[in-house]
Amino acid sequence: MLFTRSRRLLAAVLVLLAAGAVLGAGRVLVREDPLAPADAIYVLGGSWISRCIEAADLYHANLAPTIIVSGGTTADFTSLLARRGLNVPGDADLCRALVVDQMHVPAAAIHALDASVDNTAQEADAIAPLVRDRRWRRLIVITDRTTTRRAGYAMTRVLGKDVQVFMRAPRDDAFDPARWYASRASFRQVFYELPKLLAYWCGLRG
């Protein structure tokens, strides 16, 4: 009888622990740091509109004098366009046009990286030479809320402890880490991002 009760108690504890882990999954993904004046703002590729708007707002708040935009992924049709002498603006070009033409960021204050990147680890590698050449010590990195933890880990892994990285999500990012299970979009985001975060912690660089 005592053995049966102990097993039930253990099972109940395990269920509670599992439920806590599941409910806390959203918080595991999120890292947002209190901001301080930095040397530059780095906009990662992806949801470029909200990220670029956030970068412009931070620029106007005097949090950094420079905005760096990731080169993003080279589309499959890029080589075809080049052969035909055609040009279609990429995300970095569109970001630059938005913040310069409509949000009044000086053109000299925003720069796009030339390197084409395919993932967050490559974005960290792409910014590293510029950070070292200019001897930057503080960098604000903008990405979606669910990728802030992973991106912050990738940046620190490459840039080292001498560079302070501040992770930031756009203010209109609707992801709620406390209630991620309440919407289908957030549910998908967690189960897409959580394995990638675990893989990064295990040393994956892709």
Collapsed DSSP state (helix, strand, coil) of residue 164? strand
Q: Which range, 1-5, 45-49, 73-77, 93-97, has the best average confidence (pLDDT)?
A: 93-97
The helix or strand, by DSSP H or E, that contains position 91, with its residue range, turns out to be: helix 91-97
Comparing C-alpha atoms, which of 189, 177, 152 is closest to residue 167?
Answer: 152
pLDDT at 93: 86
Q: Which domains does the chain have, with CATH numbers?
A: 29-173 (3.40.50.620)
pLDDT at 7: 54
Query: Is the pLDDT assigned to residue 69 strictly greater than 60?
Result: yes
Q: pTM of the prediction? A: 0.83
Q: What angle do CA 69, 114, 85 make, to 5 degrees?
A: 115
Supply the DSSP symbol for 74. Answer: P
DSSP per-residue letters across 179-191: SGGGSHHHHHHHH
